[in-house]
Structures are given as C-alpha cells and as structure tokens.
Amino acid sequence: MRRSLPATIVVVVGLLLLVNYVVINPLLAGASEALLRLVVVLAAGAALAGGLALVQRHGGEVLRRSGNRLESAVLLAGMAAMLIAGLYPGSRGVNDLAVRWLVGALLAPLVASLFAMLFVFLLLAMRQGMALRSRQVSVMLLAAGVTVVLLLPLGGGPGTALSMAAGWAMEVPIGGVFRGLLIGVAIVTAVHAARMLLAVEGADD
C-alpha cells in the first residue's frame, strides 16, 4: 500500500496534465495550473536540498583535507559568489549587474570552452567512425558536411541563398527529426516509468 499510493498519485497527476493538453475545459485547466505550481514548488525544494547536500559534501572534503580540496573549494567559492551577488540587500536577482557580470565573464566562457572540447571529441569520433566504414556513419558525416556548408559566412547572393537553405533545413528536416526523437523518447520514458511505478512485470526488459 505504501508503494502503490505514491505511484497512483504520480500516474493520476500525469494523466490529468496530459488530458489537459487534449481536452479544453476551464475546470481541468485550473486544476492543471495548480498542479504545475505545486510541481514548481517541489522542484525548487528539491533543488535547494540538492544544493545543501552539495555544500555539505564538498565542505566536508575541505574540512577533512581529503580528496580534491582545490576543486571543492573552487566550487564552494563559486556558489557563494553567485548567492551573494543575487541575494545581497538591494539586489535585483537575476537582473542584477553583478549576477549578469558573473554569468557573462565566468559561466559563458566556461560553457564555450566545454563546447569547444566537444568539437574536438566529435572530430575524434568521426575519425573512428570512418575507420569502421559504416553506412550510418557515412550518412551522418554527409549530413554534417552539408550543414557546415549551409552555415558558411558568405555575403551577396550566394550567402543569401545559403542562409535561406539553412533556415529551411533547420525548420523542416532537422527540426522534424528532433521533434520525432523527442516524442519517441517521451513516449518510451512515460511507458517505462508507468510500468516501474505500477510494478508491472517485465519493466526492466
């Protein structure tokens, strides 16, 4: 009973939110909006609990002088800087100049560096894929090459034509593939989660 009650609540709430997107009903829309607000509150509480657990773990490593003390200290210092910039008296939160400077001067370059490393890893994966001589890898490389050509920064008539072709490719074939992937992943995830919550046999298959 203790296991079935939370599972039943999750399934009922999920079905209610799903039906709200299909059926137009003011009462159903109001209930769905209230549930969404509750979910936001619960998510905020979970994020706060996760942040406190992160501080406890890395603070313990710094105090015990064990593990990666430098990385833990840098992480705690970054969290403290963001909290101070967003919560000091008179702060405007995410619109505060200090917060925007931290995001623009520190977080944005870090994210750009990660994406630059991702490009290098993709080149290495492409090299290994070419060594396998697989048809799927060849199609993927051909699509990547066409996309790179469409995004070349050219001017004049050729640049305009490439820009229009790139916009069409992003909206129609590439956008359709991404939407199909998202829909498929969402359906499979929902079915698998429902089977696990309701303890259906074969959920791990």
User: Using one digit for the tens of pLDDT, what is the confidence trace for 174-203?
Assistant: 888 888 888 888 888 877 777 776 665 444
Asked whether 58 and 68 are in contact (CB, 8 A), the reply is no
Whether the per-residue pLDDT at 205 is higher than 70: the answer is: no
Average of pLDDT values for 79-105? 85
Between 195 and 37, where is the model more confident? 37
Between 181 and 147, where is the model more confident? 181
**pLDDT at 1 (0 to 100):** 45
Share of the chain above pLDDT 90, in %: 2
**pLDDT at 200 (0 to 100):** 55
CA distances from 121 to 20, 109, 114, 125 (A): 42, 18, 11, 6
Whether the per-residue pLDDT at 151 is higher than 60: the answer is: yes
42/20 Cα distance (integer angstroms): 21
Average of pLDDT values for 43-70? 85
Between 66 and 29, where is the model more confident? 29
Give the total residue count for the chain: 205
Torsion over CA: 8, 14, 15, 16 (sign): positive
pTM over 0.85: no
The interaxial angle of helices 156-169 and 135-150, nearest 10 deg, is 130
**pLDDT at 67 (0 to 100):** 66
